[in-house]
């Protein structure tokens, strides 16, 4: 809620400072914007168990767990981790 209110306040200040916008004239421009969401995942492997490891990620990133013997090739954008005979694809 605070972000919306702050955004509205900044937009109104910008509109008052720019006479073209205050007069109702439309002004268009383009810009390139990007952002990165950093993810943190935890892999839990039970000692002595052959069960697949449990993977939990803070931002619920998609994860695929496969047995190492039949593991698929990772896409160039994927990160691969190994845990007790398992491949984990992020």
**In terms of pTM, does the model score above 0.95?**
no
Q: Does 47 or 76 have the greater pLDDT score? A: 47
What are the tens digits of pLDDT across the range 6-18? 566 566 666 666 5
Please answer whether residues 45 and 84 qualify as being in contact, where contact means their C-beta atoms are separated by less than 8 angstroms. Answer: yes
Burial class (CB in 10 A: 0-12, 13-18, 19+), 84: middle
Q: Where are the domains of the chain?
A: 2-89
Model pLDDT, residue 20:
55
Phi, psi for residue 2 in degrees, rounded to 5: -65, -35
What are the tens digits of pLDDT across the range 46-59? 877 778 888 999 99
């Amino acid at each position: 809620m605070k972000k919306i209110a702050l955004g509205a306040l900044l937009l109104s200040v910008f509109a008052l400072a720019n006479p073209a916008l205050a007069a109702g004239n439309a002004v268009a421009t383009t810009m390139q914007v990007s952002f990165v969401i950093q993810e943190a995942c935890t892999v839990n492997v039970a000692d002595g168990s052959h069960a697949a490891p449990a993977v939990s990620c803070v931002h619920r990133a998609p994860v695929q767990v496969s047995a190492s013997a039949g593991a698929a090739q990772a896409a160039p954008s994927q990160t691969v981790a190994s845990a007790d005979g398992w491949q984990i694809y992020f």
